[in-house]
Every structure is written in structure tokens, then in C-alpha cells.
């Protein structure tokens, strides 16, 4: 199995009922997955697939995704909600004596 020297990608292992196996996933490569009978082998397999894909991308001169941990996040993003949801949240924030931003942030952090 191939491995990367500095592998800082974001991996996750989850159970797949459809496949009756553990699925290894990588956030930076959402089209890839690896099925295995144990969580450990799913992770090892997924890391190997990512290493092979990166080697292939390098040899073809393709841009390689930057690991999420290396990216800078501003802490700001815009979200659109239906007007009735906006109104309900504004009322809840006012009743709680907090800003709408603080209320939304607290709800998202749960």
C-alpha cells in the first residue's frame, strides 16, 4: 500500500449499511471511498487510495487539493433562509437578549 509522507488530509470512517462494510472517506477527495471489513482497514485503504491519486495528479500536472487544516477560514459566511425563519430567529434572539449573529452561531455550534 502506498502512503504519503506528510498526510494531513481529513479522513472519516463510517459504517455503510448498503455495503455491509466500513467506508473510508476523505473530505478533500469527496469522490473517493474505500470499503473494508474493519474501520482500521478502511482507513488504511483510503489513505492508500489518496496517495495513489495524488501521485497520479502530480504526474499529470494537476492541482492537488490543499488539506483543510492548512486553509485559513475567516469565520464569516453568508446563509440564506426563508423570511419566516429569519423572523422567528430574530424574535428568539431579541427575547434571549443576544444578537441574531450570536444566536445563529450558538445553534450552528451544537
pLDDT tens digit sequence for 65-88: 999 999 999 999 999 999 999 999
Q: Shortest CA distance to 21 belongs to which of 40, 2, 3?
A: 40
What is the pTM (predicted TM-score) of this model? Answer: 0.74
| Domain-wise residue ranges, the chain | 11-68, 73-109
pLDDT at 43 > cutoff 90: yes
The pair phi, psi for residue 15, each rounded to 5°, is -85, 135
Residue pair 10/67 in contact by the 8 Å Cβ criterion: yes
pLDDT for 4: 83
Give the 3-state DSSP-derived string for 26-76, with helices as H, strands as E and coil as C.
Answer: ECCCCCCEEEECCHHHHHHHHHHHHHHHHHHHHHCCCCCCCCHHHCCCCCC
Average pLDDT on 43-48 reads: 97
Amino acid at each position: 500500500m502506498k502512503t504519503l509522507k506528510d498526510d494531513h488530509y481529513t479522513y472519516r470512517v463510517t459504517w455503510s449499511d448498503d455495503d455491509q462494510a466500513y467506508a473510508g472517506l476523505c473530505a478533500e477527495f469527496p469522490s473517493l471511498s474505500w470499503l473494508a471489513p474493519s474501520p482500521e482497514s478502511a482507513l488504511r485503504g483510503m489513505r492508500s487510495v489518496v496517495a495513489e491519486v495524488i501521485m497520479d495528479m502530480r504526474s499529470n500536472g494537476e492541482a492537488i487539493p490543499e488539506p483543510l487544516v492548512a486553509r485559513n477560514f475567516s469565520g464569516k459566511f453568508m446563509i440564506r433562509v426563508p423570511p419566516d425563519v429569519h423572523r422567528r430567529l430574530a424574535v428568539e434572539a431579541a427575547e434571549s437578549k443576544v444578537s441574531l449573529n450570536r444566536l445563529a452561531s450558538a445553534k450552528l455550534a451544537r
